A = this chain, B = another copy of it.
C-alpha cells in the first residue's frame, strides 16, 4: 500500500442557480470590485488515503464523490490530482 493525496473540486452544475455565488458577487461589487461578472462557489477537498496504486486511489475517490461528497443532482466533481506522498509507505 502507498499513501496518496487526492484533490477534488466539487462545483455547482452549470446553468443551475448558485445563490452563494450571487451573494459573493454582490458583496464584491459593494466593496468596489466592479469588474466581477460572475462568481461560482464550490468545495475543494483534499483527502489523504492509503491505496495500492494511483488508479485504485482514483477509483475509490470517484466512488466517494458519487456516494457522499457531491450531490449528484446539483453538482459536478472533478478529481484534480492524485499524488503519492513520498516517504510514507505503509504495509
Contacts and interface: CB of A to CB of B under 8 A. Distances in A.
A40 B31 contact: no
Interface string A2-20: 0100000111000000000
Contact of A48 (B37, B44, B69): B37
Interface residues of A, number: 33
Contacts of A51: 35
A44 B42 CA distance: 5
A24 interface: yes
A1 B34 CA distance: 13
Contacts of A31: 64, 67-68
A38 interface: yes
